[in-house]
Amino acid sequence: MPPPVMVGTVRAAIALVQELTEMGKDLIDEFWPGPLTLIFRSSPTLVWDIGETQGTVGVRMPLHHVALSLLKKTGPLVVTSARYAAAEAAPTSVEAAEEQLGESVAVYLDGGPCTGEVPSTIVDLTGSVPRLLRPGVIPPDRLREVVPLVDGDAYAPDPGERPDPVITGEPGTPDSAADSPDSAADSPDSAADSPDSAADSPESETGRVAGV
């Protein structure tokens, strides 16, 4: 399972993937921004080193105005839960995140307390038929109203993972996608632009952002 990447516009997502199929477009039109992570074959121009991804990338556009505003400034970012591996659960406020993570995070962005305990739904679009990898906020029956869907290998979520995980990364433009997403729509729900570069480790020496 590749680390999820948050985007602020569909254009930014297209720059990260090898192909956006009609079923992918239908799911995006219906459920983005929102709690749906889509797994695609990654673009050959994507040169991030974010671990073993088996040539795939997981993409989501969050339904949160602060996250979208941040993504408009930075471009897509690799994300993770706002917790250490030893912690039982992710913090749900910026105060709790700072207490747990301390100075390992350079900047804390307070978007208000997180709500909800159910993580995003994950659908694999790398095959001919979409596969449900993880049930989440969007139920399978609702997905089947939009596309055909088969059950895939179960994915065990991080115990601390929430619908809108903390963003940890650094802004940039790592890929050479043709249409730069720097001209995103003005609406906060369609907010961000350039296809990015991101650090996925809380221990990275570069700038980081933690927000809840």
List b or e across 193-205, with b for residues whose CB sees 16 or more CB atoms inside 10 angstroms.
bbbbbbbbebeee
- Alpha carbons within 13 angstroms on the beta-carbon side of residue 154 total 2
What is the model's pLDDT at position 100? 87
Across the beta sheet with 4-6, what order do the strands follow? 77-78, 4-6, 56-60, 36-41, 121-124, 131-134, 150-151
Tell me how far apart the alpha carbons of residues 175 and 48 are, in angstroms, rounded to a whole number. Answer: 8
- Pairing status of strand 107-109 against strand 150-151: unpaired
Q: Can you give the pTM of this predicted structure?
A: 0.71
Tell me how far apart the alpha carbons of residues 42 and 154 are, in angstroms, rounded to a whole number. Answer: 21
What is the model's pLDDT at position 187? 38
Which stretches in the chain have pLDDT values below 50?
Answer: 155-160, 162-212
